[in-house]
Structure 1
Amino acid sequence: MTELAIRPAVPGDAEEICRLLNAVDLIEIGREETDLAAVKDDLTHPEAALAENSWLAHRDGELVGYGLMWDDSGADRIDMDQYVLPDHQDAAERLFELMEPRALDRARANGADRAVIHLHLNTRPTVDPALLTRRGWNVVRTYHVMTRPLHPAGDVVPPPPHGLTLRDCREETDRIRARELLNETFAEHFDHQPRSYAQWKADLGGGIDWSRVWIATLAGEGDVAVMVTRNDREAHAWIANLGVVTRMRGRGIAGYLLRYAYAVYAALGREAIGLGVDTANASGAPRLYAAHGMTPYFAAHTWELTLPTP
């Protein structure tokens, strides 16, 4: 096997990276699910710093591995993505050898005494799980991507709970409020990292349509929920976030928002809608989604590695 050539990514690599990610998608879930726009958003994110935080592994001119690292916490938590073709496990190992020390450097620069690195992989990944365990990684969480078919005749806008109204976020003040509600409603969720308004907008990328980000207000209670949805995925519409403030949970608000999203995207001609959920979510979200017709599509593990800073 010929030697690997490894270099940082640049924005112009987006199409090649997208092809690799879709090749991995085909192996792991049976269909291509990565959109070029999402790859471009990653490579042009204001915090990307590709020269230090990205890696492309080529063999005989073919891209066989890709790694990307980012730091949302400003502390010890560092996140990474890694994708590799299954016949090139040496590329996966070499990427880990480069990425793990870089994560440690970032945590040290944040003043942390350790790096807690998270990596999200399909439960049947192209990366050999034995390689991960040999390097000290452990699975700490499991997520499901759930989907539901949409039907224009059956998915119509439901009547809201008494006193509940929705407004979209085309106004800047409402976008700021949406970010505040997300930080509040997801504060206790595993892996949630509070983000400033500017950081959050950068994370959303260029494909966000603010007319499909909604805030729910309940008479006498104020703003009680937020839902961020997207229509820029080719595979299906997407619910990126759905959060209800703690004191208002269990009153049918989340269920109403789900059905509202079903109706909106069915009317737009989308055939399916999806979302991701932590299977250990303490708020009971997996049961809620199942009760509203969503079924598991595929699952992913969060792998964790903790490294002490010297």
Structure 2
Amino acid sequence: MVQIIHHQSTHLLPKGFYTRPAQLSDLDMVASMLNAYSRILLGVEQFRAKDMEAEWTLPDFNLEKDTCLVFAPDSSLAGYGEFWDLIAPFVRKVLWARVRPDFWGNGIGAALVAWGEGRACQQVNRAPAEARVVIQVIVSAPDSRAQKLLPQQGYRHVRSFWRMVKEFEGTPTEPAVPDGMMIRSATNNDDERRALTAAYEAFQDHWGFSPEPLEDYLERWRYFIRHDDEHDPSLWFLAEEEGEVAGVSLCRAQTSDDPHMGWVSTLGVRRPWRKRGIGLSLLQHSFCELQRRGSRRVGLGVDAQNITGATRLYEKAGMRPDRAWTSLAYEKELRPGVELSVRPDL
């Protein structure tokens, strides 16, 4: 019988501090606190209540159990944590937490980590009995306090994720497209499904991929599309050859922190079509369209140790890492076992 590391809450909040779960009426308050954090570390306001509402109302996300608000004695919001365990086979639990800068140094971060770890231990048995189960905590690279805290709590740094950016200059020109290939925008629901199915397949060899059912993946995407008033299917680009989707670039006109930055949410090429320049053509096609629509720059997120050569591709397209926006994944094993996700680092 495998041993499970059980949660022991040894981190007590300072006198007068208290916690409760979030409610939908807290959205503006939480967004304001998170923006106080991002202004100090990143110099911008990054969070919008409407985006958070879509996450809080996601099916199977339990607002009562999966959020934790920490309040100071004067009832001001000092910290916030959310716990995620929605992707089958439920082998990777994720904690995302932030502390308002005014309250750094009060043990609130440690308390939120303890809360998240306790929630994760409650959920360990959702995973198959033979599976290795971990909890990951995602922190911002400029947050040196979090990077000091997590190793003290038994976590290790396992991955870094970059934001890469390109500033637009001059007049956009259409890129060359490989022979026999056509790049076009999505036009209907069938295109949406085909694009997402191609993305699902393209990311199956990426770090951390878990073999969840395709229909679960599609339904989660559809949910966020339905709740996104900025979704524009004409910015979803499909590369096709003889009616088959070879690759996709799924874009947005702007980011929550920069109205002048277009965003490539997903770029992927299916295995049979790799090494033909399709990824670069899709990326450059996306750049052209975003620039034509008024974007001054474009960004995307990428695994810094990506094994498919994505960072080299983006550098070839003129993108460079914006190190301030690096995210770091820290991990603790909750139960040993067979690794069911893609983990070439193990």
TM-score, structure 2 length as denominator? 0.82
Could you tell me which amino acid in structure 2 is paired with residue 189 of structure 1?
Answer: H
1:220-256 per-residue CA deviation (whole Å, 9 max, x = no partner) reads x821101111125241221111001123222111111
In the TM superposition, 1:109-258 aligns within 5 A as 109-112=126-129, 115-125=133-143, 127-151=145-169, 153-193=170-210, 194=212, 195-203=216-224, 205-206=227-228, 207-219=230-242, 222-234=244-256, 235=258, 236-258=261-283
Q: Which residue does the alignment assign to 2:79?
A: 65
**Whole-angstrom distance in 2 between the partners of 1:159 and 1:305:** 45
Query: Secondary structure of 1:128's partner?
Result: helix
In the TM superposition, 1:33-44 aligns within 5 A as 33-44=46-57
Query: Secondary structure of 2:171's partner?
Result: coil
Query: Secondary structure of 2:306's partner?
Result: coil
Identity across aligned pairs (percent)?
A: 26
Q: Is the 8 A contact 1:55 1:68 kept in 2?
A: yes
1:16 matched to 2:15: no
Q: Which residue does the alignment assign to 2:95?
A: 80
1:49 matched to 2:71: no
1:277-306 per-residue CA deviation (whole Å, 9 max, x = no partner) reads 111111111111111111111312111111
1:60-111 per-residue CA deviation (whole Å, 9 max, x = no partner) reads 2222211111112332211221111243341111111211111121222344
Q: Evaluate the alpha carbon distance shift between residue 254 and residue 232 of structure 1 in structure 2; reply closer, same or farther with a 3 A threshold.
A: same
Q: Is the 8 A contact 2:36 2:45 kept in 1?
A: yes
Name whichever structure is richer in strand by fraction: 1
Could you tell me which amino acid in structure 2 is paired with residue 166 of structure 1?
Answer: I
Q: Which residue does the alignment assign to 1:295?
A: 320
**Whole-angstrom distance in 1 between the partners of 2:150 and 2:292:** 44
In the TM superposition, 1:262-273 aligns within 5 A as 262-273=287-298
Could you tell me which amino acid in structure 1 is paired with residue 139 of structure 2?
Answer: L
Could you tell me which amino acid in structure 2 is paired with residue 225 of structure 1?
Answer: G
**Whole-angstrom distance in 1 between the partners of 2:290 and 2:49:** 22
Could you tell me which amino acid in structure 2 is paired with residue 210 of structure 1?
Answer: P
Q: Is the 8 A contact 2:161 2:328 kept in 1?
A: yes
Q: Is the 8 A contact 1:146 1:275 kept in 2?
A: yes
When the two structures are aligned, how many residues end up with a matched partner?
307
Q: Evaluate the alpha carbon distance shift between residue 155 and residue 95 of structure 1 in structure 2; reply closer, same or farther with a 3 A threshold.
A: same
Q: Is the 8 A contact 2:34 2:100 kept in 1?
A: no
Q: Which residue does the alignment assign to 2:341?
A: none
**Whole-angstrom distance in 2 between the partners of 1:222 and 1:201:** 22
Q: Is the 8 A contact 2:22 2:69 kept in 1?
A: yes
Q: Is the 8 A contact 1:169 1:214 kept in 2?
A: yes
Could you tell me which amino acid in structure 2 is paired with residue 260 of structure 1?
Answer: H
Q: Evaluate the alpha carbon distance shift between residue 282 and residue 111 of structure 1 in structure 2; reply closer, same or farther with a 3 A threshold.
A: closer
**Whole-angstrom distance in 1 between the partners of 2:147 and 2:32:** 23
**Whole-angstrom distance in 2 between the partners of 1:5 and 1:231:** 40
Residues 156-165 or 224-233, more deviating: 156-165
Note the residue ranges of structure 2 that are not aligned, 5 or more in a row. Answer: 1-13, 337-346
Could you tell me which amino acid in structure 2 is paired with residue 61 of structure 1?
Answer: S
Query: Secondary structure of 1:196's partner?
Result: helix
**Whole-angstrom distance in 2 between the partners of 1:13 and 1:238:** 28
In the TM superposition, 1:277-296 aligns within 5 A as 277-296=302-321
Could you tell me which amino acid in structure 2 is paired with residue 13 of structure 1?
Answer: D
Q: Evaluate the alpha carbon distance shift between residue 232 and residue 106 of structure 1 in structure 2; reply closer, same or farther with a 3 A threshold.
A: farther
Residues 99-108 or 192-201, more deviating: 192-201
Could you tell me which amino acid in structure 2 is paired with residue 306 of structure 1?
Answer: E
Q: Is the 8 A contact 1:84 1:126 kept in 2?
A: no
1:114 Cα deviation from its structure 2 partner: 5.3
**Whole-angstrom distance in 1 between the partners of 2:272 and 2:126:** 38
**Whole-angstrom distance in 2 between the partners of 1:80 and 1:155:** 41
